[in-house]
Amino acid sequence: MAFRMFYEQDCDVSKLDGKKVAIIGYGSQGHAHALNLKDSGVNVRVALREGSASKAKAESQGLEVVSNAEAAAWADIIMILINDEFQAAMYKKDIEPQLAPGKTLAFAHGFNIHFGCIEVRKDCNVIMVAPKAPGHTVRSEYLAGKGTPCLVCAHQDATGDAFDLALAYGAAIGGARAALLETDFRTETETDLFGEQNVLCGGVTDLMEAGFNTLVEAGYDPRNAYFECIHEMKLIVDLIYESGFTGMRYSISNTAEYGDYTAGPNVITEAAKEGMRHNLRRVQNGEFAKEFLLDMSDESHQVHFKALRRAAAESLMERTGKEIRKMYAWNDEDKLINN
């Protein structure tokens, strides 16, 4: 299916005039959406659960904080930006009882709508505005007068202008300065999960660790292996981000470029591609969603998830990296976690 692209001239931000927008959650995406909307002149409030540690931060940044239920009753547009695994229960408890005809439910990821965890009454809109970057980048690009591309769509159009509202919202958070790409909930959900699992996270991290372990098993110093297989990844990705594969290959040595063409296929073999196809099928048929939600449930206590996280954090590669990063001159600048 071919989707359309939209830019600032295609978006009528005045569609948000007089609209009240509630942002549910104040994490990476939540803070960026709320602050960008506020700076664009939109009437916005932040909704947080009782006792949230984010309340003081949101209030210090000039935002009014209310409960989820209060926000849902007050708002015309309700953007849900808490973790996927918490959305359905929160929606059932706090949002659904406060809905009225003509309200708009908005999401930045299609997981709960696509897999049927949340079903919204038919007299309300359901839209998506999904920035293709972490929230901190969404905010910093907006402040720099630029923007982050977003995926947008209207899944349920009760008022006749749901897609126009999605475009207006996308423009108000800065996305239309770059581009707004039309999509649908199925496409966004399945491609997002596939990309995360097979390339951006699961694929890249497994590839880097496999390279590290191959060198260490061959007798090389783990620190040397870390520099070659982990540290330099950012340099390559930055070049690709700026100029694509062609630009990256222009910037590296002929030796590296030749090895790129000839050695890569020995790693990403047909077996690896079949593994990707298998993982895509698990996303498409709902197996991954079912497994994930089961492990995230109160009954399961995230036992499997936490075990995986602990094992990964204790690997030789991570222990080596912790020591290597202490040498970096920028080690204490803007760190996400202290390790």
- pLDDT tens digits, residue range 286-328? 999 999 999 999 888 899 999 999 999 999 999 999 988 888 7
Query: Pick the catalytic residue: 31, 33, 109, 114?
Result: 109
Question: At residue 269, does pLDDT exceed 90?
Answer: yes
Q: Are the C-beta atoms of residues 149 and 132 closer than 8 Å to each other?
A: yes
Count Cα atoms within 13 angstroms, Cβ side, for 38.
Answer: 19
pLDDT tens per residue, range 276-286: 999 999 999 99
Instruction: Kindly indicate the confidence band of residue 67, based on its pLDDT and cuts at 50, 70 and 90.
Output: very high
Q: What is the pLDDT of residue 258?
A: 96
Give the whole-number percent of the chain exceeding pLDDT 90: 92
Beta strands in the chain (DSSP E): 5-6, 20-24, 43-47, 64-66, 77-80, 104-107, 125-131, 150-156, 180-182
Whether the predicted pLDDT of 336 surpasses 70: no
From the list 109, 114, 111, the residue with the least C-alpha distance to 152 is 109
109 is catalytic: yes
pLDDT surpassing 80 at residue 35: yes
Average pLDDT of the segment spanning 139-157: 97
Positive or negative torsion for Cα 61, 64, 70, 72: negative
Give pLDDT tens digits for 171-230. Answer: 999 999 999 999 999 999 999 999 999 999 999 999 999 999 999 999 999 999 999 999
Q: Which two tokens stand for residue 154?
A: 């209207």
Burial 28-46 (b: 16+ CB within 10 A, else e): bbbbbbbbbbbbbebbbbb
The H or E element that residue 34 is part of is helix 28-39
**How many CB atoms are closer than 10 A to CB 133?**
19
